[in-house]
A and B are shown apart, each in its own frame.
Chain A
Amino acid sequence: MKPILVIGMGVVSAIGLGKAKTLEALLANRSGVGELKYLKTEHKEFPVGEVQLTDAEMRKRLDIAEDAVTTRTALMGMLALEEALADARLTQEMLPQVGFISGTTVGGMDMSEQFYLDYIHGEAHKEYIAAHDCGSCTEMTAKRFGKFAFVTTLSTACSSAANAIILGANMIRCGEADIVVVGGSECITKFHLNGFNSLMILDTQPCRPFDATRNGLNLGEGAAYLVLESEESAKKRGATAQALLSGYGNACDAFHQTASSPDGEGAFRAMKEALELAGLQPSEIDYINAHGTGTPNNDVSESQAMKRLFGDKVPPVSSTKPFTGHTTSASGSIEAVFSILALQNGFVPVNLNWSQAMEDGVVPVSQPTKKALKHILCNAFGFGGNDSSLLLSNADFSLNRHCGLDPQSPKRQEPVFVLSAKQISIQQPLSEDWMQNAEIHETPFTRSIDPSFKDYISPIEARRMGKILKRAVATSKEAIKAAGLESVDAIITGTGYGCIENTEFFLDALSTEGEQLLKPTYFMQSTHNTISSLVAIQTKNHGYNATYAHKGISFDSALQDAWWQFQLGQINSALVGGHDEMTDTFYHILKKGGVMGMDDEKCGEAAVSVVLACEPMSHVFEPFETSLLDKSALRQAQGPKALCKLIGFQMLHNPSQNALVDAVATLLQSAEKSLADVDFILTGMSGNHEGDRAYREEAKTLFGDKPLLRYKHLFGESFTASGLGFYVAAQCLKAGRVPASLFVDAKEIRDMQPKCILLYNRSDGKNVSLTLLEA
């Protein structure tokens, strides 16, 4: 690939606020890990790497009122983002051309864990309910600085920020964006401190990655953002590179929900892909900033992966976790900043606290080392085996390198074929019968009708899975089968609230029984990426794997990720999912917080799995040929015909009327269509009066008198209901007809043989996605 410029960065962690303080601490070998000071917990026995500011002090620095709704993750995010934007000389006026992609997993959990019982029983603190999810955290962080062109949130546990960097880079390489701000933020919460404790992977001593006596990790917190820019754009603006992102890889270990494989398969593939994308040899890597958490399991697995890739010539390695603790979702970008500081200042950060080599492990750098560095691999691995690796290079690394994969110039976007779509909802599960007999349910909150899961999951595996996981596995396996494939190149999932049932169990125990004897099963199923990684484990898939958690555009974000990777030619097939479950308690809470269930809005649950491919029939395309072996094993037998084609996609954040008009024009133009070709607009109108009015008003300006159809009254509103919209549109195009139930009122019903449908989704009145599908 053509390297992408890093033109600015900002960071906050236990070792300091800002780049200068961070560099000083790294050079002085000064750890920020110490006794727990700020988090209110009874577990004082664990050392942690806390950012040395209270919430109140951060509010004061940022001039945020004491009673304004915000969370610690958002506050740290703002501190880092402020520095990054200033460092890149990005002004507020420029932001409508800039994207913002952030990674987090805890979101607003620091508040939810304090106020959970109030949320259920009272009125106090209910304004914080809407700040619980990951997407809200990203939007709170972004809002302070102005209006970004688009925002979304990656949630792949401890590799979230690294995957945010990867999405940003893909969008720049496609020419979809010139500048994208990428990274992540995460504060320590009682929730995950207790969760990690239930998994028995926390050390009561300072962590010692790659040491024979290592006994677990220390939790940390912080945030970091990088400003990525294309070479052309930077040249035009006169912006200079601080470093280059010259490669990256994302692979799934597909081994276990919380443990890494003994041979480090996922880590090995992620690092190997990063080298290949950059066109570099293993011998050209000068330093590896390892994930190196200090748990017995990670360090064995990562050592194996490095030895497999580098043989007996493993470059200097260190883990910087002893400086900061494990900053979980933010670690990918925080450590990318550390790596860039190392490139700029010519030193290898020391692996603190190391003294004794572990069996079969790498021997890390334990003494201060001054050394000119050209290329650094920076690893970030997450639960479920979401492994990513970034390749960062010195700013003077030749920009003229080009290794084939990038589109040379903007071109017409290639269509992507929808080979299959399967859903579980309140309508007939896993079948297409709903078009004949769609039932309208009158209750405000309905649960999905589940099929028997016995055909998809063995009882010993199923006993630990929440319903969201069973539905995801069943729809995924059905969709892959219906597509006539044995495997896919990528598994990408969207979920607004993730595994909320297990989150509730864990929060409930934490709030009512206290911080002892919590069940690890609940915790390991509370992370959003459990869904996508479990599907990978169940389908033995080592390919690209990512999870988006951004409110009502979670499915759309997953679709967008796949769309750009298809445009780059990085994948030939993808499984895109949208999964959300609901519980009685959380429905009650979210209704109280004004998040859902307003007016006539009915709520439901959603599980949708869609298989996309670069060719209309599975037998036509060859296995994906890269030097990565068996990246996908596409069967060459005759497959079923595609349901329809995805011919265009756009996502916007808080757009002005003009921006929306432009987006629709661009969408149609790049698909070589005009508005006259579109048969109808399938809207996400849900029965929320204000929301539906906005849909109608906007649609009038954008689409004139095109018929507006809806689907949420059949399925209920859920965070990934837009995935069901995609499913409905695909079925209509395949069948060549539109069920009467989709029309808003009987007067409009007409005989229609749709050829082209525009899906129009607004979430929270802020995020808009436009998806163009053709028969």
Chain B
Amino acid sequence: MKKILFSLILMLTTVQLFAQDNGVEMADKLRSDGKIYVVVACIVIILLGLLAYLFSIDKRLKKIEKENLPKN
């Protein structure tokens, strides 16, 4: 268990190696300012709304199916 935990910690420390800056422009500032979360929140709300809508259509359809196609 200790060995696994130790190797996991070692692996996690390598994660920051990926984040090295090689001079290519990315939205780092946006992220550090925290504004990107606003966009993520908006997209998630839109997706949740659309998916909930899809579920409600599905529910209504099920009801109509019960009335129209009794054997299924």
Co-complex (A, B): no
Q: Point out residues on A near B: beta carbons under 8 Å.
A: none
Q: Point out residues on B near A: beta carbons under 8 Å.
A: none
